[in-house]
Copies of this chain bind each other. A is one copy, B any other.
Amino acid sequence: MNIVIIGGVAAGAKAAAKVKRLLPDSSVKIFTSDTHVSYSSCGLPYYIQGNFTDYRTLLVRSVEEFKQDGIDVFLEHEVTKINPNEHNILVKNKSEAELVSYDRLIIATGARPIVPNIKGNQLKNVFTLRRIEDGIDIRTKMLSSKSAVIVGAGYIGMELLEAFVKNRLKVTVIEKNKFIMPNFDDDISDLIKKRLESYTEGDFEFITGEGVSEILGCGEFATGIKTESGKIIDADFIVMTTGVVPNVEIAQNSGIEIGETGAIKVDKLMRTSIDDIYACGDCAEKMHIVSGKNVWIPLGSTANKEGRCAAINVAGGYSEFEGVLGSAVSRCLNTTMSMTGLSEKEALKLGFSPTSALVLKTDKVAFMPQASDITLKVIADKVTGLLLGAQAIGAVGADKRINALTSALIGHLTVEEYSSNDFTYSPPYSTTIDPLLNAMQILCKRISRHC
């Protein structure tokens, strides 16, 4: 069997390793336009921050290691066309192009940053963060800089804020939505902002509800931004963390169906609409387990699981990928921000009848050293009583409260069923009634007579 994989960061690398293990006699090739393969892009903010100094720490598996396992990796090889009828792809490397045939093809082309179409966005010192070299460039620039602007206050923007503040830069974060971290409900986003603003060991500010109208420059270099209201903010460099889009163009051009979300449509076996072609990772659409709708939530943990699932099916096994909950966590300075399932605003849009409970508690018994605060919001449907999602911010451990909910979403538990949960308790770890259970009991009272 001749297996070709396009893309090799998370899903592609995982699929290659897994399929080779399942079919040791097969030929497995990875083609990637990237300069590196199999790396932790989620780790880039921590490399930039300086938690470790060698970027190679981020490499999960090198080209040589793949080679030793019998997998050929072709870096800086761009796949420009898929010919499903001929079962081959057109690969370009520098000036050369060649046709490579496959029995099974796995598309794992990932996603790429998008930047708003504004004046100055092509200037030097304007960065996006996706690949290893982006991380190296940003770190290098940061080390010789005193100030930065981050455009966009989502996960990556916030992780870079931490990195820059810890390196003593003056940082401005500008977010066109009214609230930072707009994936969260507004009440939680507001609390995140307040909590971050209480962090005193840094020089940073947020501008919200306002976009960037122009990137200012001097010659070929950016020197700052102009906001929509005309405010000018000087900065030594600018990072655009304004979102990502799936890399679907080659799939689309070969006739593979694209889903309503703009990512490649796949079934539970990670098969695309064309025989013998699979897709996984950030380029593929996912099914949301709570809403049952197709969504596009690109996350490294999902990519990894989808790569594994695709590999099993490509190898002739059987594995279903059940979908996602959109579970995520990010850290910025003193604040853990984590969520799973639907937000209250999403649930409302999707036609649910959401209600929620919000509690602010200590994460451990208050008399213990290092007890810290944690805010939890839990969301359920008033009509069915089913849990829909949760958001948690505050101390380290907020994320683990979220993970204590994901299997309830998988199992479609009601709030009432969840309220009888039996968590571990000891003073160094939690309160007698964990904040999560506390929130659930309050929510239960809003929904059921039996709470």
Contacts and interface: CB of A to CB of B under 8 A. Distances in A.
A324 interface: yes
Interface residues of A, number: 75
Contacts of A321: 420
Given A51-B368, A319-B450, A432-B10, A424 B407 contact: no
B320 A450 contact: yes
B304 A432 contact: yes
Interface string A27-68: 000000000000010110010000110000110000000000
Contact of A57 (B159, B302, B323, B367): B367
Label chain A's interface by main secondary structure.
loop
A375 interface: no
A401 B404 CA distance: 8
Contacts of A451: 319
B305 A429 contact: no
Nearest to A413: B411
A371 to B, nearest CB: 11
A326 interface: yes
B422 A302 contact: yes
Interface in A375-425: 396-397, 399-408, 410-413, 417-418, 420-425
A427 B318 contact: no
Nearest to A162: B428
25 contacts: A40-B365, A46-B367, A51-B367, A57-B367, A301-B425, A302-B422, A319-B450, A323-B422, A327-B424, A328-B426, A329-B424, A329-B426, A330-B426, A331-B426, A338-B424, A397-B400, A399-B426, A399-B430, A400-B403, A400-B404, A403-B424, A406-B421, A407-B411, A407-B421, A411-B412
The 9 closest A-B pairs by CB, nearest first: A400-B400, A411-B411, A322-B420, A329-B424, A301-B425, A325-B422, A407-B408, A403-B404, A327-B424
Interface of A: 10, 40, 42-43, 46, 51-52, 57-58, 155, 159, 289, 299-302, 304-305, 318-331, 336, 338-340, 365, 367-369, 396-397, 399-408, 410-413, 417-418, 420-430, 432-434, 449-451
